[in-house]
Structure 1
Amino acid sequence: MKQMETASLRDFYREIGFTDDNELSRILPEGITKDIGHFNVFGTAAVRKTVKQTRTMPYNRRTYYKISLINGHNRAEYADKVIDIKKHGLLFASPKIPYNYIPQDEEQSGSFCIFTHEFLASSHNGMRLDELPIFKPGGYPVFQLNETQAAEVEAIFDKMFNELDSDYAFKYDLLRNYVMELIHYGQKLQPDITQYTSHTASARVTGLFVELLERQFPVTSTRQQLELRTPKDYAEKLAIHVNHLNKVLRENTGRTTSDFISSRIAQEAKILLRQTDWNVSEIAHSLGFEEVAHFSNFFKKLVGVSPLIFRN
């Protein structure tokens, strides 16, 4: 049975032409991802030359984070979203959500950087990247840029290239700052609704709820099943009344508890239908539905078509 595929850093380097094991070991020393993490930056045109043009970028989850400046007409497919990038785009990708982008013309350029959680956490007080709005599933991961914005982002990537080639002893500290500069650039482009703060008790409850919700994903095996399924389940975990949880979420995000849960489950259902060969019954079970019919009705209500039609 086909399970959810995940691409590692080694898979990425092999994909772009680093096939020698000794060379890979030099780039990715044993234990580096656990200690200080990994970072690298690339020019899109240079990478495209090393990859067969007939190959399509695989739609799967990666074990690393990626930020891309895309110049050219592209179609970005990110979880349940499809975004048509007309000229310039800024794409953020995390290990939780699969994505790809498909060039729509021959005029392609840009830059991208890859990095692991440990790379930033090692110097940012153990910061969790999945707590940042830009990397939250269900958020806004792809942005259309105008000419001015594209030039500003390109300038940040230029600083990355220059610093990576330098002999400066503390260059990786600077590179971490450049990565954070890109992250903040993207977060400033997001709608205000996604910009949760931590200054109030209600906002803290919102953050804890979102964290509980996201801990259950991704679903990677048919033996896995969601433990928290209803607003009451989450309220009990947070030791608050379900009505209070719903009130807090409405105040902070404009959405209900049920809306949050249903949207996230529907998003994961789309990923599983597209990415695996699990049958609908297995997907329904893993997402907490006792009856396939209940799952089918739920999916059709949120997506507009049945699971089988969506898959085909």
Structure 2
Amino acid sequence: MDKAETLEELYTRKFDWMPDTIRNEIGHFNVFRLEPIVGDKAKPVPYKRRDYYKVMLVIGNSQVHYADKVVEVQKQALSFSNPYIPYKWEHLDQIRSGFYCIFNQHFFAQFGDLNQYAVFQPNGTHLFELADEQVTQVARIYERILEEINSDYIHKYDVLRNLVFELLHYALKMQSSSKFDKQPINAAQRISTLFLELLERQFPLDDTHQQVNFRSPSDFATQLNVHVNHLNRAVKETTQKTTSQLIAERILQESKTLLKHSAWSVSDIAYALGFTEVTHFNNFFKKHVQMSPMKFKVA
């Protein structure tokens, strides 16, 4: 898979100019109106990761590929993209309007961890279909962002951060609270969260020289300095899935992404995902997808 697109590459590709604040010591933030995309500019952007975050209001039918999933925007939606999940949009010629803001991790460095929120997590919901009334409400937030970024207020970047959080929480409130959300934070939940963070830290794979280092529950237990039985109980209690299931699901997700969106060979993918033999990878993939990796790649 190609290397992640940088902010500089985005400005060069899309605008052919570079803002003076691109490497500001407080981080970078910008906001734009999403104009109708026609002609050559309506071509889909290649499937890849970006090294920045993007929160976008899209009005119009389109389609977005997130990791190994394809999501259809029927009418209008609010989307969240981050540096860890590759994506691309299609049918851009059907997008009528909208807004989007972009920013890097450094912009929020002293203001909380964005990746703790489900909208920026690999298994979270990244796209929210909106009703007309909700579009009006979200658009108002973007109008305030545009007004604020053009102001001379000395603390305007604090206001902008708050407005981004307003968009984030607006989306999160649309999701029904899960059983997991309602549970008090306890030792089992903390261990489970540390396990999931360690699992996710191994991805995405950008280079054939990379390799997944932790493949078994005991690998993770050693890294977390807990007994493997304790880890397994904590994960099962908080996620209703076994540790092995979650590891397999994440490896399967990454394998699908690499098969569909990289030029890597099946053996390269097998090695990077920690399989000692290609046949082991083939058997693993067939078990979960009911077809061989090569058939899936060309399908």
* Normalised TM-score (structure 1): 0.88
Q: Distance in 2 between matches of 1:200 and 1:106?
A: 47
Q: What does residue 265 of structure 2 align with?
A: 279
Distance 1:252 1:299, change over 3 A: same
Q: For the aligned residues, what is the CA RMSD?
A: 2.1
Contact 2:58-2:95 at 8 Å conserved across structures: no
SS in structure 2 opposite 1:216?
Answer: coil
Q: What does residue 14 of structure 2 align with?
A: 16
Q: Distance in 2 between matches of 1:84 and 1:197?
A: 32
Q: Distance in 1 between matches of 2:179 and 2:252?
A: 20
- Of residues 54, 60, 65, the one that matches 1:77 is 65
Contact 2:180-2:239 at 8 Å conserved across structures: yes
Q: What does residue 158 of structure 1 align with?
A: 143
Distance 1:194 1:149, change over 3 A: farther
Q: Which amino acid aligns with 2:113?
A: R
- Of residues 15, 20, 31, the one that matches 1:26 is 20
Task: Establish whether residue 135 from structure 1 lines up as the match of residue 133 from structure 2.
Answer: no
Q: Distance in 1 between matches of 2:67 and 2:180?
A: 18
Q: Distance in 1 between matches of 2:134 and 2:240?
A: 29
Q: What does residue 44 of structure 1 align with?
A: 34
Contact 2:119-2:126 at 8 Å conserved across structures: yes
- Of residues 211, 216, 227, the one that matches 1:225 is 211
Q: Distance in 2 between matches of 1:227 and 1:235?
A: 13
Q: Distance in 2 between matches of 1:308 and 1:209?
A: 31
Q: Which amino acid aligns with 1:73?
A: N
Q: Unaligned regions of 5+ residues in structure 2, if any?
A: none
Q: Distance in 2 between matches of 1:16 and 1:158?
A: 22
Distance 1:197 1:80, change over 3 A: farther
Q: Distance in 1 between matches of 2:234 and 2:187?
A: 9
Deviation readout 1:270-301 (Å, 9 max, x if unpaired)? 22222321110011001000111111121222
Distance 1:6 1:193, change over 3 A: farther
Q: Which amino acid aligns with 2:288?
A: L
Q: Distance in 1 between matches of 2:175 and 2:246?
A: 18
SS in structure 2 opposite 1:178?
Answer: helix
Identity level (%):
42
SS in structure 2 opposite 1:7?
Answer: coil
Q: What does residue 174 of structure 1 align with?
A: 159
Q: How far did 1:252 drift?
A: 1.5
Greater mean alpha carbon deviation, residues 245-254 or residues 69-78: 245-254
Distance 1:197 1:88, change over 3 A: farther
Distance 1:25 1:108, change over 3 A: closer
Greater mean alpha carbon deviation, residues 230-239 or residues 91-100: 230-239
* Normalised TM-score (structure 2): 0.92
Q: How far did 1:240 drift?
A: 2.1
Distance 1:274 1:222, change over 3 A: same
Distance 1:225 1:116, change over 3 A: same
Distance 1:118 1:197, change over 3 A: farther
Deviation readout 1:16-43 (Å, 9 max, x if unpaired)? 1224xxxx262424xx2xx311101111
Q: What does residue 300 of structure 1 align with?
A: 286
Aligned residues: 297
Q: How far did 1:106 drift?
A: 3.1
Task: Establish whether residue 243 from structure 1 lines up as the match of residue 241 from structure 2.
Answer: no
Contact 2:62-2:95 at 8 Å conserved across structures: no
Q: Distance in 1 between matches of 2:161 and 2:277?
A: 48
Q: Which amino acid aligns with 1:218?
A: P
Contact 2:42-2:92 at 8 Å conserved across structures: no
- Of residues 32, 44, 49, the one that matches 1:56 is 44
**Any runs of at least 4 consecutive aligned residues in structure 1 with deviations exceeding 4 A, and if so which?**
193-198
Q: Distance in 1 between matches of 2:195 and 2:183?
A: 14
Q: How far did 1:94 drift?
A: 0.7
